[in-house]
């Protein structure tokens, strides 16, 4: 089987709405199969290349018209938008994307795995759809958790410094969770599976089995759940931890009020405003 053929490549992509939602846990869980090696966060692969292709698609009329005017002999205009035709440019970008994927496949096979994966703590419906079209046999896991718990972990990592940071994370969580869950529920995206972090932690066997079956794996090692890991092992003065775990930092009353204001409807819809739901899983 030519696994380097994009039409046959069964890559696994792990997404999340914001950081600290469990992509690291899923990375280790899926890799425990010894069938898929889930690599780390590569923005070039999952954001830069797809966004470039989408941007060229959206601006194709403008760029092709500018190039045509310049080529026709109009030497008195201003043509920063003049680019090769979308047909040629998109083909080159798709080729570049597939070349990067082939490098991932080769690296996975060298390590003894038949398939590869990538995790990234952000999600865009358009980027997901494009990647799915470029790798038609790829499968995608979208893991989400209670926004307050994610923000507490984000705050502990010093990534929540200003009110605008809080608002940005809230907006991202609401839009991305909303998009992904709607896509997963529509039945039109059979290669996208939504994973609720709290259920994954409290119903390990059931949720792991659903993931195993969805990805077509033979086994998953539940021992992965016994280890809390959410940072590098190292000096705490540098923001790391000797135990590779940094405890979450609770949000202030004002921050909690702002979260409820910005994300309350979706939190309530998902049952996240119930105290019993908050107790199902430890913060990580």
In tens, the pLDDT along 122-134 reads 999 999 999 999 9
The band of 280, judged by pLDDT with boundaries at 50, 70 and 90, is very low
**Crossing angle for the helix pair 49-58 and 86-110, to the nearest 10 degrees:** 170
| Contact assessment for residue 199 and residue 282, using Cβ atoms and an 8 Å cutoff | no
C-beta separation of 130 from 56 below 8 A: no
The whole-chain average pLDDT of the chain stands at 91
**Reported confidence tier of residue 283, pLDDT bands at 50, 70, 90:** very low
Of the candidates 201, 198, 283, 282, the one whose C-alpha atom is nearest the C-alpha of residue 248 is 283
**Can you give the pLDDT at residue 58?**
93
- Tell me: pLDDT of 275 over 70: no
223-256 pLDDT tens trace: 999 988 766 666 666 666 666 677 899 999 999 9
Per-residue pLDDT tens digits for 265-274: 999 999 998 7
Q: Looking at residue 218, what is its pLDDT?
A: 98
- The pLDDT-based confidence of 277 (bands split at 50, 70, 90) is very low
- Higher-confidence residue of 29 and 284: namely 29
> Looking at the predicted structure, is the pLDDT value of residue 180 above 60?
yes
**Chain segment 51-108, per-residue pLDDT in tens:** 999 999 999 999 999 999 999 998 888 999 898 888 888 999 999 999 999 999 999 9
Residue 1 confidence (pLDDT): 41
Torsion of CA 4, 8, 12, 16, to 10 degrees: 110
Tens of pLDDT, residue by residue over 25-34, are 999 999 999 9
Query: What local confidence, expressed as pLDDT, does residue 213 receive?
Result: 98
124 DSSP 8-state letter: -
Q: What are phi and psi of 49, to 5 degrees?
A: -65, -50
* DSSP 3-state of 271: coil
Which are the contacts of 6, defined by CB distance < 8 A and separation ≥ 6?
98, 101, 134, 135, 136
Specify the pLDDT at position 75.
Answer: 85
Is the pTM higher than 0.85?
yes
pLDDT digits 0-9 by tens, 134-174: 999 999 999 999 999 999 999 999 999 999 999 999 999 99
Q: Cα(32)–Cα(193) distance, rounded to whole angstroms? A: 19
- In this structure, which topology does domain 12-145+189-246 adopt according to CATH? Rossmann fold (3.40.50)
């Amino acid at each position: 089987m030519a696994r380097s053929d994009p039409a046959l490549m069964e890559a696994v992509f792990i997404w999340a709405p914001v950081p600290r939602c469990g992509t690291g846990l899923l990375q280790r869980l899926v890799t425990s199969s010894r069938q898929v090696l889930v690599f780390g966060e590569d923005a070039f692969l999952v954001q830069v290349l797809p966004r470039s292709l989408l941007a060229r698609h959206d601006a194709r009329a403008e760029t092709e018209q500018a190039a045509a005017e310049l080529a026709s002999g109009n030497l008195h205009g201003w043509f920063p938008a003049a680019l090769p035709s979308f047909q040629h440019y998109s083909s080159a970008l798709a080729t570049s994307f597939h070349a990067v994927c082939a490098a991932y496949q080769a690296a996975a096979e060298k390590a003894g795995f038949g398939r590869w994966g990538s995790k990234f703590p952000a999600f865009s419906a358009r980027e997901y759809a494009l990647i799915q079209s470029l790798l038609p046999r790829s499968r995608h896991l979208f893991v989400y958790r209670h926004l307050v718990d994610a923000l507490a972990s984000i705050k502990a990592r010093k990534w929540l410094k200003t009110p605008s940071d809080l608002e940005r994370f809230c907006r991202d969580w609401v839009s991305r969770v909303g998009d992904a869950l709607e896509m997963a529920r529509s039945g039109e995206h059979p290669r996208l599976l939504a994973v609720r972090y709290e259920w994954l932690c409290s119903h390990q066997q059931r949720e792991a089995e659903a993931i195993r079956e969805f990805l077509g794996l033979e086994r998953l090692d539940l021992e992965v759940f016994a280890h809390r890991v959410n940072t590098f092992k190292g000096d705490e003065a540098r923001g790391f931890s000797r135990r590779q775990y940094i405890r979450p930092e609770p949000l202030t009353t004002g921050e909690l009020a702002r979260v409820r204001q910005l994300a309350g409807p979706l939190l309530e819809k998902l049952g996240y405003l119930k105290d019993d739901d908050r107790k199902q899983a430890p913060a990580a």
